[in-house]
Structure 1
């Protein structure tokens, strides 16, 4: 009988037949084959997944590049339109200033003409004899005293007659993707508010009568009929008239008939827009965009005319939020329209 002893066996291990040793090692090798086969299969699965991920990354990047190209084209279109509008405003301003300068130049030129005539008369008068000098001297003095120098038109231009919008790309995407259609809920309206028949507009007016038990009576306010407990949403608000208005969101469970001012501490996140100040620049009309990102806990506000960021709030939202619209108590005539 042939025996052997493996180099991996302990020193005191007795010699065993070759057949038995071979069988033992063959079993170990088969177990290695099983482990390696499973490992290879696992690696092949991971490899295929990574190859698929590579393709998916390329697909997504291609899609994002297409979106970027689309957004850039949109941005270019918007900027070109903005440029045309600004160029038109500049032309109007230029023509207006030029017209006033020409008119003012004519007034100054005529004044210079009168000065030259009067100067010639005075010089001529000074050369006359005493008797001739005293004849008609009152007309000379009256002419000199009645000269009024025309006002000089100031052609100083505004330091910043226009500003290019810095948030076109992101804001345009918000409007295009997340725009929602809102209607106002008359059941939540304060007694001093008049809701339009299409439930899109609210106007402030003073009124007497029984209070609405559902109204937010701390201020003339109204809620939207639509609320949100997830996702991202964008809506537009048009403001006309003069006075203060408050825009934002509040919890569906906000206390009714309370004198407490709306604030984040009692579940109301809002932005105050003083339209009596903006009336000078916007002829009593202003547009505000409101963007809600429920999961991120963000509410942000945008000036839609200049496409610029106004203000924003961050918090943790745990219940349904309702778009909120309020008009200041001191406002005499103010209309809010939702889109």
Structure 2
């Protein structure tokens, strides 16, 4: 058994981790792992800059690989061992450890080789015993069927692993592309957005590191799962090459190895589609007005007594009262509320006030951002901003200072 174990280990060392066959034209990566030259170049096809080792995921810097002449000669020698080993096995006839007789029977219940003397022992009297040849034929058939299933499973895991590597680089490419777009956008805004740009870039780095770590960890789990499948497949193939007695010896450990072969879950590689969120007023007033225009009307019930409202409820005219002034005029400004309010979203509206001068003001509300911004639409300049945390419904409020002149508030 020690010879068989050593031989199996030697054959594994002479096998390619990718194709699982004996190494052909073996090459060695900078991390010390060996592959068929054609296998590793096919695995790295389409990759650029960094090439991950299929075994340990070490990032090789380039495609430079060292030919391993010594390993090539060793592999050629190992290929000749199975026939020599088969002759040696046939010369050794295993005996029952308990009765020192030739093993001729197999217990299907305990999966154990027995001799004729074991048949009459109390441990196996009522158990199903069949000749070794019959048992070996049955189990060899089961193993061969399992080889096909495991080979198909291994092929699927190989494809899954390749996709995980491609996903890692796709994520990096997407993040680099979004970072370039972010830099271009930041060049067009004012200097005080530099702080926000740094925060956004840090968030990108955190997301990149988080996703890359998860993908690498998932890749390691898949690589380990792939290694376990490869090892199990090698053991099964080795078993099938043994004599009947050798095949049935320790067959239980092979069957037990079938369990716990569930493929690791695939990590979703989806990224947030919007990685930065600049304040909307930097997009341009015209675009902002077109995207977020709010259709407002004035509420007659909240209008100041000196306001005369138009039929469409979109403008009011201030008239100075004749005679003694209204006491309300002395305590409040002429004002009116909108009939519509906002408790979410982004909204833009414009107000024009005519009188001694004609100012046209744009108002932008970002409820979630907690910001109200005011713009001079005559020269398209930013006037003032208010920042707060909004928790209730906001109602647009229109007011002018008391004046003897006739003024008109018009919602554009």
TM-score, length basis structure 1: 0.40
Highest RCO, 1 vs 2 (Cα 8 Å, sep ≥ 6) = 1
Q: TM-score, normalised by structure 2?
A: 0.33
